[in-house]
Chains A and B, each alone.
Chain A
């Protein structure tokens, strides 16, 4: 089962709708049996990419291969690919059993009955086999859609925002469920989502897409800890981005000038070319200390901060700290109870390790990929 003969390969895939370039020269390889997430905001081209792999849209240019087979222009019903649709697209006139059996029966599989019952058990819908989709809850319908696709043992299973319609608690539950099933049957999953937490929870590899191109691809941890663009830094979690001048490289560290204070960044985490750069550091990597306190050796230090907002959120406290140059930085601190919380107006120094910061190209928009309230459905 686990050879590499059925890798999904996409080469130079391009899709134009009139003047709009939805997917721009996309190339990637999804190894067989992996859980791959295409992550991006709405309109970034991730669903279009998925539809071209499924055969529901024809590409303007480029190729889609499964193993060595070129399936670019193969009709959807001839591809070893199945899809879990965003709205589930269950057949309302058929029972759950008939929905799940649909693909097998179209292919004339003889013992479809037993296989269907087994699949209905796998997705834990045994008692509901005789019901119609409208009689099931959202989470149950989601499992029908999953079973209906998986039963065909596709080389690649495509999931288009499969959990988008579920409420938060059910979504978390289904994420774990999906991951369990994927591990169990070792089918390649390509999961399209705009939810970065969902992508990070489930996927082995994430490709972050924006404006039809892949901004960065890698394991969730790598993407989060060492983003290469401002879009990735903002879209996956949150980042403080500070305008700095690059001064020098000393040993393994790049030294930058941050409004008159010098800080270092590990050279392998610098993705900036010019004399200016964005210095990035995640809010939870930043420590706040009362002004003038003893600082850890080797840490980067910025002095002169003042607390402007304190949000107590239970497990942590989130501070906004105004720096001397006017920018407000985010600092998240675990509520360990080891020291009292800071209060509005307190004077602070903030510190972090050079191994936790990153440098990004100064030409990029520092607000790229920031979630505004309207984006977050």
Chain B
């Protein structure tokens, strides 16, 4: 739109307004299913979680808990588990970066170079979802086992000492995270890159950009929405993950998710579990907001 758009004359405007008002009367009904869904599965559980986080910690599963607005739960939770938080964010951060480094070339190849193989390759990216998450993670125990070929290989080339292992180390946990969240990185990246008009890349070449400069100045900026959503879809669930640490690590590699799981399901310490969950949620939301601001995605088309 250029600057010159004018408002329609009054009588016409009145008619249009009447029509808009009528539509406005019923349009909100379309929101009802979504709103109900959010209320039942998000708002209500979150409130419940918040209330639980303020229960008196001296209660128990058998005797029940008293609501005492016990804000000290949060302090106790942080004192108890700050190192788990640090580890979670570190593991999730490393996994996200590696996913991006592996996923970007893959998505780029599928979008621009795969030709007739494009859809086949996309199916391969999604294929792991056809089996259970647990089963796939368990099979990584075999892949990384002490007698397995991968450990053998790294021992032979000297990266690992002869008695060194992969399983039950941070490497195994992070590798598991990378593997499990790779499709969540690759698919949004692919979607973004696939939308990049190849003629723009040609235009960059025509305007004195080498292929690398063209990528840096045109292709990559245009794929930023995919980078942002891919990293979010990887980082957020990876922060809360506990399966990979459980199956591929030891208590030394436990992440905050493991602590929450134990507090909820083993110790039945609901106030601790709830406050941990809420802290994790708040910190992640804060990080995401800062990140999205920084990446400036609202400015991208």
- Given A92-B222, A93-B301, A106 contacting B203 (CB threshold 8 A): no
CB of B196, distance to nearest CB on chain A (Å): 10
A106→B218 CA distance, assembly (Å) = 12
Question: Among the listed stretches A74-82, A225-233, A346-354, which one makes contact with chain B, having 4 or more residues with CB under 8 Å of it?
Answer: A74-82
- Given A134-B301, A135-B1, A137-B2, A107 contacting B199 (CB threshold 8 A): no
In the assembled complex, A148 has its CB within 8 A of some CB on chain B: yes
In the assembled complex, B209 has its CB within 8 A of some CB on chain A: yes
Does A83 lie within 8 Å of B206, measured CB to CB?
Answer: yes
Does B202 lie within 8 Å of A103, measured CB to CB?
Answer: no
In the assembled complex, B210 has its CB within 8 A of some CB on chain A: yes
Does A89 lie within 8 Å of B1, measured CB to CB?
Answer: no
CB of A286, distance to nearest CB on chain B (Å): 46
A117→B214 CA distance, assembly (Å) = 23
In the assembled complex, A54 has its CB within 8 A of some CB on chain B: yes
CB-CB < 8 A to A149: which residues of B? 206-207
CB-CB < 8 A to B214: which residues of A? 77
Does A91 lie within 8 Å of B301, measured CB to CB?
Answer: no
CB-CB < 8 A to A54: which residues of B? 206
In the assembled complex, B59 has its CB within 8 A of some CB on chain A: no
In the assembled complex, B36 has its CB within 8 A of some CB on chain A: no
Does B1 lie within 8 Å of A76, measured CB to CB?
Answer: no
Does A106 lie within 8 Å of B197, measured CB to CB?
Answer: no
CB of A319, distance to nearest CB on chain B (Å): 45
Q: In the complex, which residues 66-125 of chain A have their Cβ closer than 8 Å to any Cβ of chain B?
A: 75-77, 81-83, 85, 87, 89-93, 102-103, 106-107
CB-CB < 8 A to B210: which residues of A? 75, 77
In the assembled complex, A152 has its CB within 8 A of some CB on chain B: yes
CB-CB < 8 A to A75: which residues of B? 205, 210
In the assembled complex, A165 has its CB within 8 A of some CB on chain B: no
CB-CB < 8 A to B204: which residues of A? 91, 102
In the assembled complex, A56 has its CB within 8 A of some CB on chain B: yes
A106→B202 CA distance, assembly (Å) = 14
A102→B222 CA distance, assembly (Å) = 16
CB-CB < 8 A to A127: which residues of B? 3
A55→B204 CA distance, assembly (Å) = 12
CB-CB < 8 A to A103: which residues of B? 207-208
Please tell me which one of the listed residues A89, A102, A132 contacts residue B197 in the complex, with CB atoms under 8 A apart. A89
Does B207 lie within 8 Å of A82, measured CB to CB?
Answer: yes
Please tell me which one of the listed residues A56, A83, A91, A135 contacts residue B218 in the complex, with CB atoms under 8 A apart. A91
Please tell me which one of the listed residues A56, A93, A102, A136 contacts residue B207 in the complex, with CB atoms under 8 A apart. A102
A133-167 CB contact bits vs B (8 Å, 1 = yes)? 01111001000000011001000000000000000
- Given A89-B197, A93-B301, A135-B1, A77 contacting B205 (CB threshold 8 A): yes
A45→B217 CA distance, assembly (Å) = 31
Please tell me which one of the listed residues B1, B208, B218, B300 contacts residue A77 in the complex, with CB atoms under 8 A apart. B208
Does B301 lie within 8 Å of A77, measured CB to CB?
Answer: no
Nearest A residue to B199, CB-CB: A89
A137→B208 CA distance, assembly (Å) = 27
Residues of A within 8 A of B (CB-CB), count = 30
In the assembled complex, B213 has its CB within 8 A of some CB on chain A: yes
CB of B219, distance to nearest CB on chain A (Å): 11
CB-CB < 8 A to B208: which residues of A? 77, 103, 106-107, 152
A87→B204 CA distance, assembly (Å) = 14
CB-CB < 8 A to A152: which residues of B? 207-208
CB-CB < 8 A to A135: which residues of B? 1
In the assembled complex, B164 has its CB within 8 A of some CB on chain A: no
In the assembled complex, B221 has its CB within 8 A of some CB on chain A: yes
Q: In the complex, which residues 1-44 of chain B have their Cβ closer than 8 Å to any Cβ of chain A?
A: 1-3
Does A85 lie within 8 Å of B207, measured CB to CB?
Answer: no
- Given A93-B301, A106-B213, A76 contacting B197 (CB threshold 8 A): no
CB-CB < 8 A to A140: which residues of B? 2
Does A56 lie within 8 Å of B213, measured CB to CB?
Answer: no
CB-CB < 8 A to B218: which residues of A? 91
CB of A109, distance to nearest CB on chain B (Å): 10
A89→B205 CA distance, assembly (Å) = 12
Does A89 lie within 8 Å of B200, measured CB to CB?
Answer: yes
A103→B199 CA distance, assembly (Å) = 16
Please tell me which one of the listed residues B2, B203, B206, B221 contacts residue A93 in the complex, with CB atoms under 8 A apart. B221
A77→B217 CA distance, assembly (Å) = 14
Task: Kindly name the residue among B200, B208, B213, B217 whose own CB sees the greatest number of chain A CB atoms within 10 A.
Answer: B208
A90→B203 CA distance, assembly (Å) = 8
A82→B208 CA distance, assembly (Å) = 9
Q: In the complex, which residues 185-227 of chain B have their Cβ closer than 8 Å to any Cβ of chain A?
A: 197, 199-200, 202-210, 213-214, 217-218, 221-222
Does A56 lie within 8 Å of B301, measured CB to CB?
Answer: no
CB-CB < 8 A to A56: which residues of B? 202, 205-206
Does A106 lie within 8 Å of B221, measured CB to CB?
Answer: no
Does B213 lie within 8 Å of A91, measured CB to CB?
Answer: no
CB of A192, distance to nearest CB on chain B (Å): 15
A75→B218 CA distance, assembly (Å) = 18
Task: Kindly name the residue among B210, B214, B217 whose own CB sees the greatest number of chain A CB atoms within 10 A.
Answer: B217
CB of A49, distance to nearest CB on chain B (Å): 16
Does B203 lie within 8 Å of A89, measured CB to CB?
Answer: yes
A103→B214 CA distance, assembly (Å) = 11
13 sample A-B contacts, Cβ–Cβ < 8 Å, listed by A number: A54-B206, A55-B205, A76-B205, A83-B203, A83-B206, A85-B202, A89-B203, A92-B200, A106-B213, A127-B3, A134-B301, A135-B1, A149-B207
Name the 3 nearest CB pairs between A and B, nearest first: A89-B203, A103-B207, A106-B208
Q: Which residues of A contact B (CB under 8 A)?
A: 54-56, 75-77, 81-83, 85, 87, 89-93, 102-103, 106-107, 127, 132, 134-137, 140, 148-149, 152
Q: Which residues of B contact A (CB under 8 A)?
A: 1-3, 197, 199-200, 202-210, 213-214, 217-218, 221-222, 300-301
